[in-house]
Amino acid sequence: MTTRAPEPALAKVSFPALGTTAELLVTEPRALPAAEVILRAELAAVDRTCSRFRADSELTRINLGAGTPTTVSEGFAEALHAALRAARLTDGAVDPTVGRAMRALGYDRTFVSLRPDDVRPLPAPRPAPGWRRIAYDPHTRRLRLPPSVHLDLGATAKALAADRAGRDAAAATGCGVLVSLGGDLATAGPAPEGGWRVALADDHARPATDHGPAVALSGGALATSGIRVRTWRRAGRTLHHIVDPSTGEPASPVWRTATVTAATCVDANTASTAAIVLGERAVDWLRSANLPARLVGLDGRVVRLGGWPPDLPAPSPQPAGGSR
């Protein structure tokens, strides 16, 4: 993610992580080194645990062992709990059993490693098996996936890492902390005066400007999902990374981006992803969830829900809250 230089009271560091950009801002410059150590440790842990692009990750081992019961680690158990909760809250619009569908679409390696125009034919799409088929006992951490079912925790694991890193860094340093992973933001501790000012954009990596819309966060989290950034071509089709579990295909294009605020980054990212999948139905769903949201249609029309404020430029926005 690209941001403007922080205000004098803040300190910032950014670096590549999890196939995107990690950004860390703190309200006390002296706390930055300690907070960075905590963030890097959390990112390394979630990568070892939940990456589907690492041959040695716990997720890869679990997917390869589908059909055989296994005991998962505490870290994986927390990530799985977040994924299953997201599936339950969205009635399956966000479903961790889309792993095989993602691979079938060609997203079988890190995004930067994807071929820009893959000529291989696309297999016939198949709906995701569904999260209710997962057999999991949270008390014993015993998990059994049905044979041939592969998990993908991408809709929640990165957001969970942002929540955990922000919480732990704030607890360790006693200052305000903002963690952004590819535009998914979690805050903890006391916010700076006026709040964390976040620039809104289609792409989290696009440089922030003084003229685009921005919001101020006094706490909680913000996440943006979109269909314009992580795209690739296969068999003559342009595809994106948000899969509709009911079809196994990329979600139908209704919203260019969906931005949601919530108490945690996991909840914000769950809702923003669900909004892309639900399409026009997202408006009623978000209203029923009572979550502030900003939806941008393909034609640029903006729909604001749950008390989301009118678009106003803010001076010197800090992190860019854009889709990943």
The tokens 């803010």 sit on which residue? 314
Task: Determine the pLDDT at residue 119.
Answer: 66
C-beta separation of 231 from 111 below 8 A: no
54-93 confidence digits (pLDDT tens): 999 999 999 999 999 999 999 999 999 999 999 999 999 9
C-beta separation of 257 from 226 below 8 A: yes
Pairing state of beta strands 231-234 and 293-297? unpaired
What's the CATH superfamily of 11-323?
ApbE-like domains (3.10.520.10)
Neighbours of 88 (CB within 10 A): 12
Task: Determine the pLDDT at residue 189.
Answer: 98
Domain ranges of the chain: 11-323
Specify the range with the lowest mean pLDDT, choosing from 54-58, 111-115, 132-136.
111-115
Residues 290, 26, 205: CA angle, nearest 5 degrees: 70
- Give the pLDDT band (50/70/90) at residue 324: low
C-beta separation of 160 from 78 below 8 A: yes
**For residue 74, how many C-alpha atoms fall within 13 Å in the half-sphere facing its CB?**
0
Task: Determine the pLDDT at residue 321.
Answer: 64
Residues in the chain: 324
- Give the pLDDT band (50/70/90) at residue 9: confident
3-state secondary structure the chain: CCCCCCCCCCEEEEEEECCEEEEEEECCHHHHHHHHHHHHHHHHHHHHHHCCCCCCCHHHHHHHCCCCCEECCHHHHHHHHHHHHHHHHCCCCCCHHHHHHHHHCCCCCCHHHCCCEECCCCCCCCCCCCHHHCEEECCCCEEECCCCCCCCCCCCHHHHHHHHHHHHHHHHHCCCEEEEECCEEEEECCCCCCCEEEEEEEECCCCCCCCCEEEEECCCEEEEEECCCCEEEECCEEEECCEECCCCEECCCCEEEEEEEECCHHHHHHHHHHHHHHHHHHHHHHHHHCCCEEEEECCCCEEEECCCCCCCECCCCCCEEEEC
Residue 4 pLDDT > 50, yes or no? no
Residue 201 pLDDT > 90, yes or no? no
Phi/psi at 269 (5° precision): -70, -35
Residue 108 pLDDT > 80, yes or no? no
262 vs 111, 137, 220, CA distance in Å? 27, 28, 6
d(CA 246, CA 167): 35
Paired strand residues for 188: 177
Task: Determine the pLDDT at residue 318.
Answer: 56
Please give the model's pTM, rounded to 2 decimal places: 0.90
C-beta separation of 149 from 66 below 8 A: yes
C-beta separation of 272 from 259 below 8 A: yes
- What's the mean pLDDT in 153-166? 96
Phi/psi at 272 (5° precision): -70, -40
- Give the pLDDT band (50/70/90) at residue 236: confident
